[in-house]
Amino acid sequence: MNFTRLEIPDVILCEPKTLSDERGYFSETFRQDRLEKFLGFSINFCQENESKSSFGVLRGLHFQLAPYAQTKLVRVLQGAVLDVSVDLRKDSPTFGKHVAIELSEENKKQILIPKGFAHGFAVLSKEAVLVYKVDNYYHQVSERGIAYNDKNLAIDWKLNPKDIKLSLKDANHDLFEQVDFF
C-alpha cells in the first residue's frame, strides 16, 4: 500500500496495490502495521460503518467533538463519490481549508481523515456504497455538522445544485463560523 500526504498533510491518501488477471482481482485494503509505520503512531479502529446512497446524495459535513472525535479511513466499494475533509483545528495552518478527492470502486483509493476534521461526501455515480473504519465509537450527543454550501468553505461538490439530495439534519447544519472547533 502506498501512502501520500495531501495538500493538508495530515489527510492521507492510501492506495492499495491490486493484482488483477482474467479471474478478477485481489487487493490488500488495510494493513495496520504499515499505516502506523507511515503515521508514526498507533491507531486502533473499533467500529466499521457502511452506507449506500443514490446519485446526488450529499452526506455531511459531519464530525464529533472531543473526547469522541474520530479518525476515519474511508473507501468506496461501489460507485464513485467526491470525498471532502475540512480542517477544524484552530491552531492548524490549514484551519478552514479542505481537501476533496474522488474515491471510486475503480481507483480503489482510500482517505485517512484525522480527528479534528469535518467529513462529507457527494455521490457522483448512480449509487455508491462506502465503508469506513473509525477509531472511536459513535456518540450522538457529540455529533455536529457544518453546512455543505457555506460560501466561506467554497467547496465544489461536482454536482448541479438541483441534483443535491440532503437529509433534514444535513440541510440544517450551522455555518462554519458558528460551530465548535478543536
Given 119, 132, 148, 173, which residue is catalytic? 132
Q: Is 132 a catalytic residue?
A: yes
CB 146 within 8 A of CB 86: yes
CB 124 within 8 A of CB 81: yes
Q: Is 119 a catalytic residue?
A: no
Given 62, 98, 119, 173, which residue is catalytic? 62
- Between the CA of residue 37 and those of 2, 29, 32, what are the distances in Å? 12, 16, 8
The C-alpha atoms of residue 20 and residue 151 are separated, in whole angstroms, by 43
Report cis status (omega within 30 of 0) of the bond before 161. no
Q: Which residues are catalytic?
A: 62, 132
